[in-house]
Structure 1
Amino acid sequence: MKVISLNVNGIRQAADRGFFEWMVRQNPDVVCLQDVQADERSLNDSVFFPPEFNTYFFDSIENPDQAGVAIYCKTMPKAIMTGMGFPECDFEGRFIQADFDKVSIGTFLTPHGSNHEDALQEHKYRFMEGFKNHLIKTRRKRREFIFCGTANVARSPIDVSSWFVNQRNSGFLPEERKWINEIFNEHEYIDAFRQVNKQDKQYTWWPDYERAWKLDEGGRLDYQITTPGLRNIIQGGSVYKGQRFSDHAPLIMEYDID
């Protein structure tokens, strides 16, 4: 099973940059998109709905032009679930999940946070706490899960450029790194990409200006997080940098799942 995850930072922008043509050529089984920034009803062009895929959106109730997530599936899911049961997620369209025979695949979008506005950073922390609680509850279920999305947190120094300076910035604060490493260590979830790729500078995000992209100054803010039972069937992982569809790059993972 090939699973692609991408923060599109606006689905219309990504489409204009050729994302959907690239996506179809990749022949994935599931594609998880974050930060769609569009009401599904406003997406009238067929480019957003390739005939090869079943498509499901979860829009922001508060502002359809912000946040939002989507899942594209080759196989029709047995069920679709939206939300995780707390306002920072459910009112803002930050989680959708597709259930298949052997695995459930969800896509999530953590808020950006802020170095300068305490309210925005607190909003991020509330989402993080709610998401962690959801992951804890998920461990009690008798099936496997893959959670794809933007955590807006770099896990360790090899996951961000200028790591020493960035310890003062949202996205690499000590509290944020403690949160994500607790998910992988205490709660035993698997960082799928790091399971198969230990190299440094494997970034998935760069500030939206050319210098950062050219110098490869960014951060690994995007993840595919799996339940422990999938650890040994993760076959490969890569970050696609051949084209720029947004300020994030597609994360491509392969699993030994039919």
Structure 2
Amino acid sequence: MLRVASVNVNGIRAARRRGFGDWLAQRDCDVVTLQEVRCRVEDLPEDAFGGYHVAYDPGSIPGRNGVAVLTRSRPAAVRTWGAEVLLRAPGERHTGLVAADAPGTLARGISRYAGEGRYVEVDVDLADAAVTVASLYLPKGGLPAELQQPGRMRDEPDGGARYARKMHFLDAFARQLSRSRRAARARGREFLLTGDLNLAHTRLDVASWRRNQQSEGFLPQERAWLDAQLSPRTLVDVVRRLHPGVEGPYTWWSWLGQAYARDAGWRIDHQLATPGLARRAVSAVVDREHRGVRLSDHAPVVVDYARPLG
């Protein structure tokens, strides 16, 4: 079995105080992808990533973003959009960043985000498993200008700037995603995109979908983008395939109010796999808490894939 988990830790140091290290040791995953690590390399806690090899792109914005892929064995290759990465084996303490492997020609527009710590992918070789696994942290975005109403928003109106930026990212990333998927196939590998997409796809993915139809993360334009990425021939939503027709399982809940207690969440953390890998998915669960404690405002998405893959 190949077990892959994806979790937005919302700060690795905060998550470790809540028990992330214990969860990581207990969950026995082959691959773990992280988003919003939000920590300078020199400030990472000792043994922050347990007994795993780590490929970590911290980005260049202090205290924000940062994505990583943890693997049992040293990855065969590590690629970013041009950013340097931390490559560390279990027990090592060096803090220097090194160049990642060449990603090939980048899609138009994607290099604009190279320094933000939003994407890293690795080639994993585990006996009979050959797969490229990517960790993505997609921008949250905002509302288009026509939906912004001062006094009724958490953020200050920005004339639609955050919305426009997210849509630009989605446009560029769609092209890059296609390239990455096809490049993996050319290397004889399956491809798995994991992470916090800050997008809920259908009404089943938002507990209060009626009142959130004009909320960032569930806008018609965003949902249409995800529609276009999914098909039986390109990428398959693994969790939805294993949980058809049911509400959730949600992966994010606000810290405010009773959202978590009422399970009034959003499913915005995903594992999207090429068809051969998706067919091998046998179990998908969301670890809402570990020993009674939430690790983050997000919860780990854990999927088991039967081997051999493909």
With structure 1 as the length reference, what TM-score do the two structures score? 0.93
1:144 aligns with 2:190: yes
Gap runs ≥5 in structure 1: none
Kept in 1: contact 2:3–2:29 (CA 8 A): yes
Task: Give 1:24's aligned residue.
Answer: 25
After superposition, the Cα gap between the structure-2 partners of 1:46 and 1:257, relative to the gap in structure 1 and judged at 3 Å, is farther
Q: Distance in 2 between matches of 1:168 and 1:186?
A: 29
SS in 1 for 2:296: coil
Distance in 2 (CA, whole Å) between partners of 1:254 and 1:187 is 21
- The higher radius of gyration belongs to 2
State how far apart, in whole Å, the 2-side matches of 1:172 and 1:256 are: 32
- Post-superposition shift, 1:161? 1.5
Please, which runs of 5 or more residues in structure 2 have no aligned partner? 82-102, 144-156
Instruction: Assess if the C-alpha contact under 8 Å between 1:89 and 1:95 holds in 2.
Output: no
Q: Is the 8 A contact 2:193 2:272 kept in 1?
A: yes
**Moved beyond 4 Å, runs of 4+:** none
What SS does the corresponding residue of 1:46 show, helix, strand or coil?
A: coil
Aligned-pair distance for 1:153?
A: 0.6
Q: Could you tell me whether the CA contact under 8 Å between 1:234 and 1:254 is conserved in 2?
A: yes
Match of 2:221 in 1: 175
- For 1:93, the equivalent position in structure 2 comes to 117
Indicate the residue corresponding to 1:190 in structure 2: 236
Contact 2:233–2:275 (Cα < 8 Å) also in 1: no
* Amino acid paired to 2:140: H
CA distance in 1: counterparts of 2:191 and 2:232, whole angstroms: 17
Q: Matched residues in 1 for 2:167 and 2:62: separation?
A: 22
Q: What is the alpha-carbon distance in structure 1 between the residues aligned to residue 302 and residue 238 of structure 2?
A: 10
Note if contact 1:205-1:219 (Cα within 8 Å) is conserved in structure 2. yes
Q: Specify the alignment match of 1:55 in structure 2.
A: 54
- In 1, Cα distance between the equivalents of 2:216 and 2:225? 13
Contact 2:4–2:29 (Cα < 8 Å) also in 1:
yes
Q: Does 1:105 align with 2:152?
A: no
Helix, strand or coil: the match of 1:207? coil
Correspondence for 2:176: 134
Comparing 180-189 with 220-229, greater Cα deviation is found at 180-189
Asked if 1:247 corresponds to 2:297, the answer is yes
Root-mean-square deviation over aligned CA pairs: 1.6
The answer as to whether partners of 1:136 and 1:187 remain within 8 angstroms in 2 is: no
Counting aligned pairs with the same residue, the percent is 34
CA distance in 1, matches of 2:204, 2:172: 27
Partner of 1:42: 43
Task: Identify if the C-alpha distance between structure 1 residues 135 and 78 changes in structure 2 by more than 3 Å, giving closer, same or farther.
Answer: same
Q: Which residue of 2 aligns with 1:5?
A: 6
Q: Does structure 1 retain, via aligned residues, the 8 Å contact 2:181–2:191?
A: no
Q: How far apart are 1:58 and its partner, in Å?
A: 0.2
CA contact (8 A) 1:97 1:107 kept: yes
2:142 equivalent in structure 1: 114
Task: Give the equivalent residue in structure 1 for 2:306.
Answer: 256
